[in-house]
Chains A and B, each alone.
Chain A
Amino acid sequence: MSPLPLVLAPLGFAAVALAMPSNRWRPVVLPIGALCHLALVIAVLAHGDSTAASGWLSLDPLARLVLLTVALLFTCCALYAPGYLAVRHDRPNRRFCSGLLLQVAMLSLVAMSHHLGLLWVGLEATTLASAPLLYFNQTPRALEAAWKFLLIGSVGIALALLGSFFLAYSELATQQPSSLQFDDLMAAAPQLSKPWLHAAFVTLLVGYGTKMGLAPMHTWKPDAYGEAPGILGAMLAGGLTTGAFLAILRMLALMHAAGEGSFARPILVFMGLLSMVFAAVFMVRQKDIKRMLAYSSVEHMGILALGAGIGGLAMFGALFHMLNNAMTKAVLFLSVGNIHRAFGSKSTDDVTGALGRVPVSAALFLAGFLAITGSPPFGPFVSEFTIARAAFADGQPVAGGLYLALLMAVFLGMGSTVLAVVQGESPSPSSTNSGHVDRPSLTLPIVFALLVVLGLGIWLPGPLRDLLDRASAYVEARP
């Protein structure tokens, strides 16, 4: 099966959304487009292993995993969208709907692209598609967030381009014909010029790490997630960051193929732990719920980098965590969106006793918090535990110990904010009550996401386990 429809279908729906005149009916395009995309992804996954070496686009195990993650995440967000945009019927949503679909099209392109240039173009396009969406609420703060997101993101991505050039030059420097095609690079990996390869890895890690939000390049994240509508927050925290992580994994695969894994892995472990430290420090006494979620995202990007750095079983854990993180972020961002709407504020000064006012959303938020911090029986528990086990088994007790201590610190820091939000007395209704109550269109999609997270924690389906196995073997260049 050709991979192209996965990109073209959401693009087509984006065009439909752009052309549709009715502000009221346009949001319906989102769930239809998302379900089509999901169906296509499942068809591709079911189709087995016809890795057509078409060169530029390829459905390798890593691509399949990222496609599944993005499709599931987007389905939840898109099912939530009509209800959300019906509440916000006063705002024109043309740009919002087509922008989201464009983002998914570009993420699918990123997932499958086997050409570093194409990968770069795709990731830059997701950035550009997201920036106008950040300005959906048209407040000065949203403007500030959009500016920081765009400028920091563009500089990061420019560095990634330089890194890609370094990589191509590492071939040229040893008198080989240079190419940015991933399969060519993998084949030529052992002969690449080492200094240029090292420079390329570091530059690409900083560049795509900025996009992914690894500390200390994460500064755009609290602002962007703080001001983004819930749907966009979920898509950024679960989709865009996953795309950037994929780019780093592709580079890591190349380092492994070149026999330079020992250079790359400690750097990833360090960046991962550093991100977790930043997240833990800034999470304490965080009054803004959405900014708290942003630091949680920094933390989980750190966990992904750490898992990839430790390698082996931890690589399996990191890839599994990528899926868990995306789905749990959907639960968190969308339920916080509901709470934000009900209270007209996202500061813990005003938001207390959410269980009393929007019981379903508050319960989902609490469940999402338990899931993301690694409590059983949710999916992230399994993946986070796998990484910890691998760290100790691999003889990295220091990294493993720090990792567990930081997980605990984040749990405590995040927990105090979350409990303040859900428990207690609601403030007197007159001051902050917006009259918003739970309604099925705004809670059922979140329930769906939570069920996926719960299901992944209880039972890992055989085909998915197989896919994760093959993807981690692929990244570590094991046969």
Chain B
Amino acid sequence: MNHTLDGLLVLVVLLDFFALGTSRVMALIRASAMQGVVLAGVPLLVHAEISGHALLIAVGSLVVKGFVVPLLLMRAIRDVTIRREVEPLIGFTASLLLGGLGAGLALVFSGHLPLAPEHAQAQLVPASFATIFTGFLMLTTRQKAITQVVGYMFLDNGIFLFGLLLIDAMPFLVEVGVLLDLVVAVFVMGIILHRIQRTFSTINTTQFSTLKE
């Protein structure tokens, strides 16, 4: 059982690396969708027996992170002609290296955390921190608005992964609220993205230079 879980988590981290190394926007969205699908399997494996609660969370995150949000993003960039992230602030190779470094640090760092004994063995915490780090890296170094939204998705996936340790503490209603907020956030971001494209004829946030000191 635990081997399957570790396999899934390795897949999650590999998708982080893939996202950091690719320049194609569509591939990025697909990577985040795939990560969403993989994540949906994790709640079923964290605990020994599968509870109804875990099953609902798995289905919810599969639908939201695997399908709804990626489709919203793809719809938002339907008319956008440029499909590549050009000139990130940090090059793709460099961000890949940074991502690897981040994952390594996450592993070391988690080893020192006072985790509950039943979680000490699991690789859930390092995978979560590595994904959060990936999200931050994409948010800060990519210039296209769409790539930043995907970065936000990775950040959210990482936090979701940590939240799975607390599956008993989170009432289902709150989980639903969190997922719903995510959908609405990406929906609103999609609308704004569309307007940005129409107004500025580009979705480069470097065009956003009117408002600064």
Contact of A125 among B132, B181, B210 (CB under 8 A): B181
**Among residues 100 to 153 in chain A, which have CB atoms less than 8 Å away from a CB atom of chain B?**
115, 117-118, 120-121, 124-125, 128, 131-132, 135, 140-141, 143-148, 150-151
B180 to chain A, nearest CB (A): 8
Interface of A is mostly: helix
The segment from B49-57, B81-89, B91-99, B108-116 found at the interface with A is B108-116
8 A-B pairs whose Cβ atoms sit less than 8 Å apart in the complex: A120-B178, A124-B181, A148-B211, A151-B189, A154-B185, A162-B162, A173-B116, A226-B211
**Bound CA span A144–B211, Å:** 8
Contact of B189 among A118, A150, A168, A227 (CB under 8 A): A150
**Bound CA span A115–B171, Å:** 10
**Interchain CB contact under 8 A, B162 and A165:** yes
A375: interface (CB < 8 Å): no
Query: B149's closest neighbor in chain A, by CB?
Result: A151
B152: interface (CB < 8 Å): yes
Contacts of A140 in B (CB 8 A): 199-200, 210
**Interchain CB contact under 8 A, A151 and B148:** yes
Residue from A132, A150, A154, A227 having most chain B Cβ neighbours under 10 A: A154
**Among residues 165 to 213 in chain B, which have CB atoms less than 8 Å away from a CB atom of chain A?**
165-166, 168-171, 174, 177-178, 181, 184-185, 188-189, 191-192, 195-196, 199-200, 205, 208, 210-211, 213
A169: interface (CB < 8 Å): yes
A193: interface (CB < 8 Å): yes
**Bound CA span A223–B149, Å:** 20
B6: interface (CB < 8 Å): no
Residue from B113, B185, B210, B211 having most chain A Cβ neighbours under 10 A: B211
Contacts of A222 in B (CB 8 A): 211, 213
B154 to chain A, nearest CB (A): 11
**Interchain CB contact under 8 A, B196 and A165:** no
B163: interface (CB < 8 Å): yes
- How many residues of B are in contact with the other chain, CB < 8 A? 40
A345: interface (CB < 8 Å): no
**Interchain CB contact under 8 A, A178 and B168:** yes
A87 to chain B, nearest CB (A): 24
- How many residues of A are in contact with the other chain, CB < 8 A? 45
**Bound CA span A161–B155, Å:** 11
Query: A121's closest neighbor in chain B, by CB?
Result: B177
A445 to chain B, nearest CB (A): 28
**Bound CA span A147–B146, Å:** 11
Interface of B is mostly: helix
**Interchain CB contact under 8 A, B170 and A150:** no
**Interchain CB contact under 8 A, A195 and B113:** yes
Q: Could you list which residues of chain A lie within 8 angstroms of chain B, going by C-beta atoms?
A: 115, 117-118, 120-121, 124-125, 128, 131-132, 135, 140-141, 143-148, 150-151, 154-155, 158, 161-162, 165, 168-169, 171-173, 175, 177-180, 193, 195-196, 222-223, 226-227, 282
**Bound CA span A227–B211, Å:** 10
Contacts of B139 in A (CB 8 A): 151, 155
Contacts of A179 in B (CB 8 A): 169
**Interchain CB contact under 8 A, B169 and A147:** no
With A117-B178, A121-B178 already in contact, the answer to whether A177 and B210 are too (CB < 8 A) is no
**Bound CA span A57–B78, Å:** 43
Contacts of A227 in B (CB 8 A): 211
With A121-B181, A147-B145, A173-B116 already in contact, the answer to whether A141 and B152 are too (CB < 8 A) is no
**Interchain CB contact under 8 A, A161 and B192:** no
B74: interface (CB < 8 Å): no
**Interchain CB contact under 8 A, A143 and B192:** yes
With A131-B192, A151-B148 already in contact, the answer to whether A141 and B174 are too (CB < 8 A) is no
Query: B177's closest neighbor in chain A, by CB?
Result: A121
Contacts of B184 in A (CB 8 A): 125, 128
**Interchain CB contact under 8 A, A151 and B116:** no
**Interchain CB contact under 8 A, B145 and A178:** no
**Among residues 3 to 54 in chain B, which have CB atoms less than 8 Å away from a CB atom of chain A?**
none
B159: interface (CB < 8 Å): yes
Query: B185's closest neighbor in chain A, by CB?
Result: A154
